[in-house]
């Protein structure tokens, strides 16, 4: 069972997500803290997940007990064997849910989620690029209701593990498989056993060819024709119906589209749309009610009110901005930020989503939009548009940012120590204290090595060190075996220097040997040190 389950949810092997539950609201939704681990998941973790028992997770400082296993669907080669849509609807109408699934003509499989909501999965016969799967899921997401971009898995278009990217993960189903609350939902609303899920999975895998044909059914028929090149939410409302209590407000939003499409006859067209899409079909609202809506539109040319529930429910912003009569006027100048994660290092390293591209940032870049856009341009080759509410969005993302437990060797502190060791033991060591002012490390023969910060920082820059001078100073002072002192260099000259204790680096004094056998593979460093 473990092996089969693991094979079905074939995802990123090098990372995993885990959750520590601390409370429940009594309605199925549980709260806690989510983390991303920096190392690979094991068979023991999968076994613990299916058995519903805690498993050990090593962090930088301690070992903790985790509740369940989460996985990023993107494999190390940026392909996927499955994807999912996370719905924040905690008490869904099962009949309506299956009606929508069947309308797509692709076998999606709904599951009860950890939080008591719904995860809708799609499983593939063969791997496809994450970019393709993400694009296809985004085209149909608004069929199921309000769904934010960071709730579509895969969230990212690709992964860059070399730069520390961990991807976004989703909690797996069938935690405590024999008595689970995270089950596949059968059409009658009852839970499916894990064995039934295995059988259903084999019958409902999707080929890459089927996936490529996947498109939203709201683009077809009357809803698509009557709202051609318009907002997807309008098409969805026309497809699935408008509640009687919201008819006036919905029609007011529809008139924005109608007036743009039919500027000379929009009033007459509004009457036609009313009869076509509002209950009772063929009659709609009364003439006086429609006249009031038309009058409101004449007095003020409202924009699409995207924050209203009747539109937000079926929002597909990424698609809407591309449409001529959508919110973007056919010019894709929309920036969707998120998700946000960070490496638990000092300084912090952040990973921020820019329309599905994941960008690596330091804190000073994260809080400054211009610096973040510059980093995004450098890393993705695309310059994102400016937005007005950068600070507000970043603060909101920080509140739900996922921590990443960094392996020691990936931490900036570890890399700094490695560069320091290279500088103080493998470069041109001097026994002349005056040479310390030329950027060379000075060995006193008594187990201490001294250096001026400027010389060391130039060495770091040659090694493509990206951390600022201020933060590098702070990091140096936190390293074991490092101190600062006022050092007498020559008569009348004292300078602040860093002092390295050789014993903290398990080294013996090697002054003469280092001078005679100086080597480096860095050509830039050679040029600098031998000038």
3-state secondary structure of 359: strand
Q: Please state the separation of Cα 46 from the chain's center in Å.
A: 23
Are 66 and 54 spatial neighbours (Cβ–Cβ below 8 Å)?
yes
Find out whether 267 and 294 touch, Cβ atoms under 8 Å: yes
Same domain, 146 and 50: yes
- Asked whether residue 302 falls in the same domain as residue 259, the answer is yes
Q: 404 in helix, strand or coil?
A: strand
- DSSP of 503-515, one letter per residue? GGGT----HHHHH
DSSP assignment letter at 239: H
CATH number, domain at 194?
Answer: 3.90.920
Which of 320, 351, 382 lies at the terminal end of a domain, its last residue?
Answer: 320
247-261 and 266-277 helices, crossing angle to 10°: 140
Question: 349-373 burial string, b = 16+ CB within 10 Å, else e?
Answer: bbbbbbbbbbbbbbeebbbbbeebb
The span from the CA of 376 to the CA of 366, in Å, is 11
Between the CA of residue 62 and those of 56, 57, 65, 66, 405, what are the distances in Å? 10, 9, 10, 13, 11
Let me know the angle formed at the C-alpha of 309 by 316 and 250, rounded to the nearest 5 degrees: 90
**Can you point out the beta strands (E) in 77-234?**
79-87, 109-112, 118-129, 152-153, 170-171, 184-185, 191-192
**How far apart, in Å, are the Cα atoms of 279 and each of 21, 230, 238, 240?**
45, 22, 11, 12
Closest CA to 172 of 206, 142, 197, 204: 197
Contact 107, 206 (CB under 8 A): yes
Q: Does one domain contain both 361 and 432?
A: no
Is residue 325 one of the residues assigned to a domain?
no
In this structure, are 195 and 69 located in the same domain?
yes
Cα torsion 141, 147, 149, 155 to 10°: value is -70
Q: What is the pLDDT along the chain (531 residues), one digit of tens a residue?
A: 999 999 999 999 999 999 876 645 544 455 567 899 988 999 999 999 999 999 999 876 778 888 889 999 999 999 999 999 998 665 668 888 898 888 888 899 999 988 888 999 999 999 999 999 998 998 888 788 766 767 899 999 988 777 777 889 999 999 999 999 999 999 999 999 999 999 999 999 999 999 998 887 777 777 778 999 999 889 888 887 787 888 999 999 999 999 999 999 999 999 999 999 888 888 889 999 999 999 999 988 878 888 888 888 788 887 888 889 998 776 667 788 999 999 887 678 899 999 889 999 989 999 999 999 999 999 999 999 999 899 999 999 999 898 988 666 666 778 899 999 999 988 778 889 999 999 999 998 889 999 999 999 999 999 888 788 988 998 898 898 999 999 999 888 999 999 999 988 876 544 443 433 334 445 554 554 444
The pLDDT score that the predictor gives to residue 183 is 97
The verdict on residue 206 lying in a domain is yes
Tell me: do 196 and 269 sit in the same domain.
Answer: no
Helix (H, G, I), strand (E, B) or coil at 271: helix
Q: Looking at 373, 404, 435, which one is the last position of a domain? A: 404
Write the Ramachandran bin of 105: left for phi over 0, alpha for psi from -120 to 50, otherwise beta: left
Token pair belonging to 208? 């890459």
In a shared domain, residues 141 and 226: no
* Largest pairwise CA distance in the chain: 100
Q: Where is 311: in which H helix or E strand?
A: helix 309-312
The CA-based angle 440-442-448, given to 5 degrees, is 140
Query: Is the same domain home to 472 and 392?
Result: no
User: Smallest Cα–Cα separation from 155: which of 131, 171, 174?
Assistant: 131
List pLDDT tens digits, range 405-458: 866 666 677 889 999 999 998 877 888 999 999 999 999 888 999 999 999 999
- Is 333 within the bounds of a domain? no
Burial class of residue 454, CB neighbours in 10 A (0-12, 13-18, 19+): exposed
Q: Is 147 helix (H, G, I), strand (E, B) or coil?
A: coil
* pLDDT score, position 48: 96
- H helix intervals, 91-182: 94-104, 130-140
Residue 326 CB neighbour total at 10 angstroms? 25
Same domain, 434 and 396: no
Beta bridge partners of 23: 31
Our count of domains for the chain comes to 4
The verdict on residue 361 lying in a domain is yes
**pLDDT for the residue numbered 511:** 42
Cα–Cα nearest to 513, from 443, 465, 413 = 443
Which domain covers residue 64, as residue numbers?
2-213
The residue from 189, 213, 237 where one domain ends is 213
Q: How far apart are CA 75 and CA 351, in angstroms?
A: 18
pTM exceeds 0.85 for this model: no
Does residue 434 belong to any structural domain of this protein? yes
Residues 176, 231, single domain; the answer is: no
Q: Are residues 361 and 449 in the same domain?
A: no
In a domain, 78, yes or no: yes
Specify the pLDDT at position 518.
39
Shared domain for 399 and 435, answered yes or no, is: no
- Please check whether residue 326 lies inside any domain of the structure: no
Statement to judge: residues 437 and 354 lie in one domain? no
Contacts of 249 (CB under 8 A, 6+ apart): 308, 310
Structure token digits, residue 473? 């100073």
């Amino acid at each position: 069972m473990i092996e089969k389950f693991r094979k079905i949810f074939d995802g990123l092997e090098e990372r995993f997500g885990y959750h520590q539950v601390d409370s429940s609201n009594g309605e199925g939704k549980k709260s806690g803290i989510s983390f991303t681990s920096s190392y690979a998941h094991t068979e023991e973790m999968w076994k613990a997940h299916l058995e519903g028992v805690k498993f050990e997770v090593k962090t930088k400082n301690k070992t903790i007990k985790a509740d369940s296993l989460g996985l990023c669907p993107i494999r190390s080669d940026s392909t996927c064997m499955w994807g999912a849509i996370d719905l924040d609807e905690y008490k869904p109408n099962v009949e309506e849910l299956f009606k929508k699934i069947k309308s797509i003509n692709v076998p999606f499989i709904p599951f009860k989620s950890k939080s008591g909501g719904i995860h809708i999965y799609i499983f593939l016969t063969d791997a496809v690029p994450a970019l393709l799967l993400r694009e296809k899921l985004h085209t149909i997401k608004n069929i199921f209701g309000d769904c934010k971009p960071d709730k579509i898995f895969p969230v990212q278009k690709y992964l860059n593990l070399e730069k520390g990217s961990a991807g976004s993960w989703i909690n797996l189903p069938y935690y405590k498989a024999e008595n689970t609350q995270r089950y596949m939902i059968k059409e009658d609303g009852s839970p499916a056993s894990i064995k039934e899920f295995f059988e259903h999975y084999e019958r409902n895998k999707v080929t890459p060819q089927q996936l490529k044909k996947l498109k939203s059914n709201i683009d077809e028929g009357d809803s698509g024709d009557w709202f051609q090149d318009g907002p997807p939410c309008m098409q969805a409302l026309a497809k699935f119906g408008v509640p009687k209590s919201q008819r006036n407000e919905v029609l007011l939003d529809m008139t924005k589209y109608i007036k743009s499409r039919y500027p000379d006859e929009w009033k007459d067209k509004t009457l036609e749309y009313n009869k076509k899409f509002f209950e009772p079909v063929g009659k709609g609202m009364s003439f006086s009610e429609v006249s009031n809506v038309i009058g409101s539109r004449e007095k003020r040319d409202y924009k699409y009110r995207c924050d209203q529930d009747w539109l937000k429910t079926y929002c597909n912003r990424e698609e809407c901005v591309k449409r001529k009569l959508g919110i973007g006027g056919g010019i894709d100048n929309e920036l969707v930020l998120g998700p946000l994660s960070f490496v638990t290092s000092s300084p912090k390293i952040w990973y921020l989503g820019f329309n599905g591209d994941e960008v690596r940032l330091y804190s000073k870049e994260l809080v400054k939009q211009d610096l973040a856009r510059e980093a995004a341009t450098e890393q993705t080759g695309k310059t994102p548009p400016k937005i007005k509410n950068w600070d507000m969005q970043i603060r909101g993302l920080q509140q739900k940012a996922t921590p990443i437990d960094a392996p020691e060797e990936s931490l900036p502190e570890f890399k700094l120590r490695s560069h320091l060791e290279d500088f103080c033991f493998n470069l041109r060591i001097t026994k002349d204290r005056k040479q310390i002012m030329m950027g060379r490390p000075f060995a006193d023969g008594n187990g201490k090595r001294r250096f001026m910060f400027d010389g060391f920082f130039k060495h770091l820059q040659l090694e493509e060190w990206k951390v600022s001078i201020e933060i590098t100073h702070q990091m140096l002072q936190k390293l074991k075996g490092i101190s600062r002192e006022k050092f007498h260099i020559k008569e009348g000259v004292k300078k602040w220097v860093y002092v390295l204790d050789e014993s903290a680096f398990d080294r013996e004094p090697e002054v003469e040997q280092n001078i005679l056998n100086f080597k480096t593979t860095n050509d830039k460093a050679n040029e600098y040190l031998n000038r």
